[in-house]
């Protein structure tokens, strides 16, 4: 196992079941130099880990296809991750992807990998994210507080390339 201070970054793999495929994925990413933690697709578990990880890989088994409750639970988990501006990567079959994008169009802009996973492509994407995180950590932060969200968003867009910008719409 790689120590976190020597790892390229920390990644969480979220899954309903930790099958041999998930364990192989964990091993492959660990061999790329990342510290990997397996997390169940439970909202409380993800909420408790949200400050620890910048990248979440959601592994979707075909067994969720007929289970709308499970799909909604996974979507809630993903929505929480997106709300915290973390990187989401999905791994699943084309059938799963089609169902998720149809049911929840807001996740269509995330990176999707089919199975078997192209580890070279995954490695390139993880490297890009590691560089983005490193660059963002060197940026100064700006908090915009304004009751007019659209104006605050416009200012945020102007400053977003050079600064890390957060928006709140009230003083509380």
This prediction's pTM: 0.73
Find out whether 56 and 14 touch, Cβ atoms under 8 Å: yes
b (16+ CB within 10 A) / e for 118-156: eeeebbebbeebbeeeeeeeeeeeeebeeeeeeebeebb
Find out whether 91 and 62 touch, Cβ atoms under 8 Å: no
Q: Could you give the percent of the chain with pLDDT greater than 70?
A: 94
What average pLDDT score do residues 125-138 get?
A: 78
List the domains of the chain with CATH numbers: 10-137 (3.40.50.2300), 139-168 (no CATH)
Residue 99 binned pLDDT confidence (cut-offs 50, 70, 90): confident
Residue 2: its pLDDT value, please? 46
């Amino acid at each position: 196992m790689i120590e976190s201070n020597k790892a390229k970054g920390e990644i969480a793999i979220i899954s309903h079941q930790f099958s041999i495929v998930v364990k192989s994925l964990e091993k492959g990413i660990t061999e790329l130099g990342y510290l990997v933690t397996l997390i169940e697709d439970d909202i409380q578990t993800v909420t408790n880990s949200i400050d620890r990880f910048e990248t979440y890989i959601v592994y979707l088994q075909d067994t969720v296809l007929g289970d709308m409750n499970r799909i909604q639970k996974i979507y809630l988990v993903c929505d929480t991750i997106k709300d915290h501006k973390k990187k989401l990567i999905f791994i699943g079959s084309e059938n799963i992807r089609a169902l998720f994008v149809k049911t929840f169009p807001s996740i269509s802009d995330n990176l999707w990998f089919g199975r078997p996973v192209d580890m070279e492509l995954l490695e390139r994407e993880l490297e890009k994210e590691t560089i983005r995180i490193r660059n963002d950590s060197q940026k100064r932060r700006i908090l915009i507080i304004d009751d007019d969200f659209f104006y605050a968003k416009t200012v945020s867009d102007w400053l977003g390339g050079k600064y890390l910008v957060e928006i709140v719409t009230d003083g509380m």
